[in-house]
Each structure stands twice: as structure tokens, then as C-alpha cells.
Structure 1
Amino acid sequence: MRRRALVAGLMAAPSLARAEGPFPNRPIRLVIPWPPGGTNDIVGRLVTEGMAARLGQPIVIENRGGAGGMLGAEVVAKAPPDGYTLVLGGSGSLTITSLVQARVPYDVATAFAPIGMMALGPNVIVVHPSLPVHSLKELQAVARRSSPPLSYASPGVGSTGHAAGAMIAQALEVEMEHIPYRGTGPALNDVLAGRVPVFTNALAPMQPHIQSGALRAIAIAGQRRSTAMPALPTTGEQGFPQIEAATWFALLGTGGTPPDRIATLFAALNATLADPEVRRKLLEGGLEVEPSESPEAFARYFAEDRARWAPVVRRAAMRVE
């Protein structure tokens, strides 16, 4: 009886697949693991609007914040691997969170199916103008003389900004004190007020203050200069190539999603990123458009990003209980 049921199930599987029709034939859900209104939300809504038009199905946004992006990511990690549940992943919600959280309810290396990158937000290292620093070498010299240690702000314990500050201190071989805040806004306010002299964050929220002179930018923490600030040298150009802290935004599905469905989503994603209007809006937001060559290329980038941050997190003893 059991054998007959198994055979019947196997025979029914192809007909079920045929009955479902071509992918996608129903709405897709995109989980954004952060509250509405932030950069992740803006990027996700802009890109998925174009993807939905190309796929012929609506993409429904679900904002689910909490635990540094882990709560939203968990929803996708445990969803059926059918391509209908996606996550807007990033360096904070997937890479840093998986390294600093004491208990992660999924294996980040296998729980997700990488589809492709959307954009890259180059992090900029800024100081308050009262600090006599215009370069990383000058920051290193001032930090070595400082007693008590020079402090840096971050949006919170275990955030990308926390890890970036630790990376800078390690690369410069100096001691710096971490001052955590509850988000980018409060951290930025105290840096603008001169209460904390150093801050590293995505360029978009800091660009107006750099242009006004309220903050001084000393480096782009990445491999390439920013299109929005082409005159600002990178950390590598200043002799510290190990400082690389860009905030990336990407699309991933549930681990085990069939390759043909990943390919369909990848094609819609890259076609959207090639749209001049989408590119213009992303660039205006201080982001670099960064399409992947293939899902496999993005998978390699994802693994390399985690490998780059792991020793930084370990040396800084970053842990969120």
C-alpha cells in the first residue's frame, strides 16, 4: 500500500508542475528585514516595481524588522524553496548579524539562494571639523596621541557601523572607543554636535552635511571612488586597502530554490537595473548600481564578504546576546 502511494505521488509530481504553469504565476513576496522608510526600503520598492512589470506578477513588500534584520531573514530561510518568497539582504542584515548574534536560527551559508546584487552604498569615514584630521594617516597620528582613546559612533552594537569602526582601529593599529546609539539618526546628531569625533556610515545620509561643511569626509571605505564624491580618495589609495566597508543590497531566495527560477528572477533584476530611470534614482540616493554577472558571482561575493568581516568581529569581541 505504501509503495503504491509513493509511486502515485511520483507520477503525480510532473502533472502538478505542469498544472502550476510557468514561473511566476502568482504574486511574489519580498521581505525587507527593516522598518519602512530606510534605504533598504527605498531600494527594495524601487527595484521590485521594475521587476514586477517584467515578471508579469505583483511583488508584495513585507517589512519585518528586528534583531538586526535576523527576524525577517528567518522568514525567508524557512519558507518553501519555490521562488515566491525573497529577501532584500545586505551586509548588515545577513553578513554582520550572522557573525555577532549569539543565536542565529539558520545557517547563513545554506539557508539562502543568492540571486544578485542591486546596489552598493560606499561607506564614508567622516570626522567633526574640530578634529585636526584630513586623511587616514592624520587620523592614525591623532588617535595614537589621544588619551583617553579617540571615540567613534555607530548605529548600535553589532551594526555595520560598529564593525567598520573596529576595522578602522585594527587597520590603523590604534585604540578607539566605541559609542553605540539607537540608529543612524541619533549617532549622526551627536557627531554633528561634536560629542563624538569619528563616524563611518553609508554616504547618502551624510552627504548634505559634508557639502555644508558640518562634517569632514576623509576617505571612501571601498575599492573605488564614489560617483557622488569623485574627489574623495579611497582607503586603498591612502595606504589602507584592508579597510573596506561598503553597504550592499541584494536579492536572495530560500535555499534550494530551483536554478531555473533563480535565473528568471536574476534576468528580471538585471533588466530593471539597466533601466536609466532606476539607475538615476539609485545614484541620486548616493548608491552605486552594482548588478552581478550571475547568481554564482554574487554567491562568491557573499561568501567573501563574510570571510572578510569574520576576523574583524572576532578580534573586536563583538557579540550581541
Structure 2
Amino acid sequence: MTDLRPSRRSLLLLAATSLPTPALAQVYPDRPLRFVIPWPPGGTNDIVGRLVADGLAHRLGQPVVIENRGGAGGALGAEVVAKSAPDGYTLLLGGSGSLTINQLVRKRLPYDPATAFAPVGMIGSGANVIIVHPSVPATNLRELQAVARAANPPLNYASPGVGSTGHAAGALITQVLGVEMQHVPYRGTGPAMNDVVAGRIQVFTNALAPMQPQIEAGTVRALAIAGPRRNAALPNVPTTGEAGFPDIQAATWYALFATGGTPPDRVDRLFAALSATLADGDIRKKLEDGGLDVEPSESPAAFARFVAEDAARWEPVVRRAGVSVE
């Protein structure tokens, strides 16, 4: 008679094939992702982050839930991501202020910027715009210099927070113009912009997106673009170089990060989704309409090199401007 009982080998094979393979057990992502924007709603970070989050959700096949966590120049939100599980499910909208400037001006941070984050890729950047309230009798930087020198008490300038790009840029302006102005920090661009429009703040330097409606409405006045070329959205506003102050250069960049230690294959998955998002014509146009130059990275490794180089560029600027936070 033929023995119909399964052999030991066939039983072992059957058992092995019934177990989930790593590829099937580790499908990523298989649940919603958390996207921390380290600034309050209403500013450029929030605008950029929400556009990118929608694109990522579509391409990853999972909801991307926004969490605004402002404070400490972006350090509070960055800390949330730095201390999350390194599994690719907690993301950070990082930037020149919340990461680069913050680590240069703050003597103590609750995380190590060198290891706390896994760079995924650049989204884009935009030169900051220098604006004043219409009550300030200045239409260019030379006139602002004269007004600031004569002001008693000094003019004040807002920033989205201590340690932000706006803080460093404002301090740089005072140094290059050779004037005294009082720094007034806020918890984000939105609250700062509200006080500029209300006339409680005279000078503000920030990315274009949250300023553009007020510039077009005439509730604030744009004096200069703090970059090497004019902005297509404000073609009549000169650059700081054209205005006679080429040393005033301040651009804000925005990028995607995961928690440090996130597996490389998950970083690559996020990078692919981000690249596809930035290639989407509708999303790209909305970012560009907000004054952003969309600049996707070649790879996560290339973006990591950019982050290191950016810190090296800003370090002497911050030191020269004397920006420091205990």
C-alpha cells in the first residue's frame, strides 16, 4: 500500500509557507502617519506642510495627520519627532529655522540635531521678504536705515520665535544697516503678522506666502527681497543687493524628516512619495504661487549633505549677528 501520510519534510514546508513573510508582515505604511509642523497654524510652514501632507497621503495610501506643535523656535515640535519611535510613522516639517538656526543659537536642546532626525528630502526654499507697517515712512532700505537711526524709542521687529530664521535675519538687518531695533518674538508667523498689520510691530522679515495677501492689500509695505534675485510674485520689489545691502541674505527652506534611526527602506519610501508629490503640477503651482522655489533633492543622502552645508553657511552669520538663546 502507498503511504499517504505527509512526510516530515512536507509538513515543515507547509508550516513555513503558512507563516507571514517579512515582506508581507512589514508592509509600510499600514496605518496613518503623524506629521508634526513645529509652528502654529497660519504661517508658511503650515501652508507648505498641509500641501505636502495631502500629496503624501495620496501616494502612501494612508492618512497623514497634521499636528501643529509650536514653541521654542520649532524645538518643541522637533523634540516630539526626535523622541518618537524610529519607524517612519512620525514625520517632521523641518527647515532652516527650526533645525539649522535653532541648533546654532540655543546652547541646550533636548535632542542631538546630528542624530535625532533622518533627512528625507527638500521641498523648496524662498528668500525672505522685508516688510514694514505703512506708518513707517520708508519705501526702501536706505530710508528704513535713516528712520531707524532717528527713532526714539527704537523701532521693533518681529520674528516667528527665538531662534527662527526670522530672528537671525532681523538681527542681521540691524547689524548691516548699523541701527538698533528691538526684537519681539512670537509663537509663529501668524501671530507676528497680526501685530504687524495692527501697527504694533514696525518691521518683519519672513517668507512670502503669509505676507502676500497683506502686501497686495496695502496693509503692509514690502521693501526688499533678501535673496539674489527678484520674486516673480513681487516683480517690482528689489533685492537687498539692488537696494545697496548685498550682505542681507536670508532664505527659508522647508523639508521632510523622519526620526533618526528610521530604516533606510522606509526613508526611501517616503522620499519616493515626496518626489512624486513635488512633481504633481497642481501642488507645485500652489507652492510656487506662495513664493517658494520647489527644489526636490536627488536623494536622501544628497539632502543630508545639504543640511550639513547649510549649518556651516549660517554659523558665521549667526555669530556675527550675535543671536544667542540661553
Q: Mapping of 1:157-306 within 5 angstroms?
A: 157-181=162-186, 183-306=188-311
What is aligned with 2:11?
A: none
CA 1:103 to 1:186, structure 2 compared with 1: closer, same or farther past 3 Å? same
Show CA shifts across 1:135-156 (max 9, x none). 3333334444555544323344
What is aligned with 1:84?
A: 89
Show CA shifts across 1:24-57 (max 9, x none). 3444332222344543333223212222222233
Of stretches 244-253 and 254-263 in structure 1, the one that deviates more from structure 2 is: 254-263
1:258 deviates by 3.3
What is aligned with 2:12?
A: none
Q: Mapping of 1:42-57 within 5 angstroms?
A: 42-57=47-62
What is aligned with 2:16?
A: none
What is aligned with 1:9?
A: none
Aligned residues: 307
Corresponding letter in the other structure for 1:191: V
Instruction: Decide whether the 8 Å contact of 1:136 with 1:238 is kept in 2.
Output: yes
Q: Distance in 2 between matches of 1:38 and 1:151?
A: 20
Instruction: Decide whether the 8 Å contact of 2:87 with 2:262 is kept in 1.
Output: yes
**Do residues 61 (structure 1) and 66 (structure 2) align?**
yes
Instruction: Decide whether the 8 Å contact of 1:166 with 1:312 is kept in 2.
Output: no
Q: Distance in 1 between matches of 2:127 and 2:287?
A: 13
Instruction: Decide whether the 8 Å contact of 1:125 with 1:221 is kept in 2.
Output: yes
Show CA shifts across 1:162-215 (max 9, x none). 221101122233333323445545543443454543221222232233223332
Q: TM-score w.r.t. structure 1 length?
A: 0.81
Q: Mapping of 1:138-149 within 5 angstroms?
A: 138-146=143-151, 148-149=153-154
1:127 deviates by 2.2
CA 1:38 to 1:217, structure 2 compared with 1: closer, same or farther past 3 Å? closer
Instruction: Decide whether the 8 Å contact of 1:227 with 1:288 is kept in 2.
Output: no
Instruction: Decide whether the 8 Å contact of 1:164 with 1:245 is kept in 2.
Output: yes
Corresponding letter in the other structure for 1:79: S
Q: Distance in 1 between matches of 2:198 and 2:35?
A: 38
Instruction: Decide whether the 8 Å contact of 2:73 with 2:160 is kept in 1.
Output: no
Q: TM-score w.r.t. structure 2 length?
A: 0.80
2:206 alignment partner, SS class: strand
CA 1:16 to 1:141, structure 2 compared with 1: closer, same or farther past 3 Å? farther
Name structure 2 gaps, 5 residues minimum.
Answer: 1-19
Q: Distance in 2 between matches of 1:117 and 1:89?
A: 9
1:221 deviates by 1.4
What is aligned with 1:152?
A: 157
CA 1:196 to 1:27, structure 2 compared with 1: closer, same or farther past 3 Å? closer
2:285 alignment partner, SS class: helix
Q: Mapping of 1:48-127 within 5 angstroms?
A: 48-127=53-132
Of stretches 234-243 and 160-169 in structure 1, the one that deviates more from structure 2 is: 234-243
What is aligned with 2:8?
A: none
Corresponding letter in the other structure for 2:118: A
Of stretches 39-48 and 182-191 in structure 1, the one that deviates more from structure 2 is: 182-191
Corresponding letter in the other structure for 1:265: L
1:269 deviates by 0.5
Corresponding letter in the other structure for 2:234: M
CA 1:313 to 1:267, structure 2 compared with 1: closer, same or farther past 3 Å? same
**Do residues 39 (structure 1) and 53 (structure 2) align?**
no
Q: Distance in 1 between matches of 2:48 and 2:180?
A: 35
Q: Distance in 1 between matches of 2:305 and 2:244?
A: 26
CA 1:30 to 1:151, structure 2 compared with 1: closer, same or farther past 3 Å? closer
1:115 deviates by 1.0
What is aligned with 2:4?
A: none
CA 1:156 to 1:272, structure 2 compared with 1: closer, same or farther past 3 Å? closer
CA 1:184 to 1:40, structure 2 compared with 1: closer, same or farther past 3 Å? closer
Q: Distance in 2 between matches of 1:94 and 1:80?
A: 19
